[in-house]
Structure formats: C-alpha cells, structure tokens
Amino acid sequence: MTLSSRLDYERGRLRCTSPYKQEAFKTYAELKKKMRIILENHIGERPVAVYRSRRGTWGEWFEHWEMVNGKPTIVKQGWQ
C-alpha cells in the first residue's frame, strides 16, 4: 500500500476495490532494482509481498520484503 493508493481507495477514485497496489515485472532482476523505491513508498504494518513462479518447478513462490538497516531484505520466503 502506498499513500497515493490509500487515498485513491478512500476517495473512491478509479473504482479501487483495494488500497493495495499490484505491479507486474517482466523479470526478477527488474523487481530487485526497484525494490528500494517500492519499500520507501510503502506504508502500513505488513511487509511487501512478492509472488512468482520459478522455472522448472510447480507452484508459487512467495517472498516478504522489508527494510532492514536501510537495505531491502527478504524476511520470509517459501512455497505456498
């Protein structure tokens, strides 16, 4: 959730059904490059959640990211 997505949700803009922002990335490397900006704009108590599939495996992998000592860090990960 970002401040702008929360305000859009509260004011009923764009027919938002959730204050949480979803964004798709073509590659994991692209996501990791932007993770610092994403975490700096993130508000709320929950960590940033990343869901992705891994090549050659069945299922969906999840990661929870937070800023730890000023660095984007995975605090929890696994299969769901």
> pLDDT for 5-39, tens place per residue?
778 777 777 677 777 888 889 899 999 999 999 99
Q: What is the pLDDT of residue 59?
A: 81
Task: Tell whether pTM > 0.85.
Answer: no
Tokens found for residue 54? 């891994």
Query: Which spans in the chain are helix H?
Result: 3-11, 28-41
Question: 2 pairs with which residues across the strands?
Answer: 42
Judge whether 65 and 74 are in contact, CB under 8 Å: yes
What range does the domain containing 22 cover? 3-79
For residue 50, the SS3 value is strand
Domains contained in the chain, number: 1
- Distance, in Å, from the CA atom of 46 to the CA atom of 1, rounded to the nearest integer, reads 9
